[in-house]
Amino acid sequence: MRYVKELVHAREVVMRVGLSRVSATVLGTALAAGVGIVAASVREEGGWQVGLVFAAAVAPALVGAMWTLVPQRSPKMPENPEDSVEFQWLQHASSGAFFDLMIALGLASAASAILDTELVPVVAFLVLAMADVAVRYLVVSRTQR
C-alpha cells in the first residue's frame, strides 16, 4: 500500500510540473504569435510571411522566458533562495559587470563626441553586459568552490 501512495504522489508531482510547463509553452507561443501579428501589421511588404518569420524567431526566447517566469510547483523549493551561494555569485558578477558597462558606455559616448559619429547601437552594449555577467559568474563559481 505504501508503494501505491508513493506512486500516486509522484504522479501528482509530475502532473503539476508538467501542466505548468505546458501552460508556459502555450503562453510563450501565444506571445510569439502576437509579436508576429504586430510585425505583419506594421510592415507594408511581406504580409503573413513576415509575421510567421518574426513569430518563429522570437518563439524560442519567449517560451524559455515563460518557463522561467511561470512558477513551478516543486515540493523542494528552498525557503530563502537569496541565501544560496549561486545567488551571491550572480550578485557579485552582476555588480562587476555593471561597472564595466558604465565604463564602456562612457568611453563610447566620449569617442562619439570627439569623432563626431553616431552612437554605437544599444544592442552591442546589451550583448557586452550579458557576456560580461556570464564570464564573471563562471570565474566566481570556479574560484569559490
**Helix segments in the chain, DSSP class H:** 2-42, 48-69, 85-115, 122-143
Residue 75 lies in a domain: no
- Number of domains comprising the chain: 2
Lowest mean pLDDT among 55-59, 104-108, 134-138: 104-108
pLDDT digits (tens, 9 = 90+) for 86-99: 888 888 888 888 88
Taking the C-alpha atoms of residue 54 and residue 57, their distance in angstroms, rounded to an integer, is: 5
- In a 13 Å sphere around the CA of 63, the CA atoms on its Cβ side amount to 13
List, for residues 5-52, the tens digit of each pLDDT value.
Answer: 554 454 454 445 455 778 888 999 999 999 899 888 888 888 889 889
Domain range holding 136? 81-143
Last residue of a domain, one of 69, 96, 125: 69
In a domain, 55, yes or no: yes
**Is-above-0.85 flag for pTM?**
no
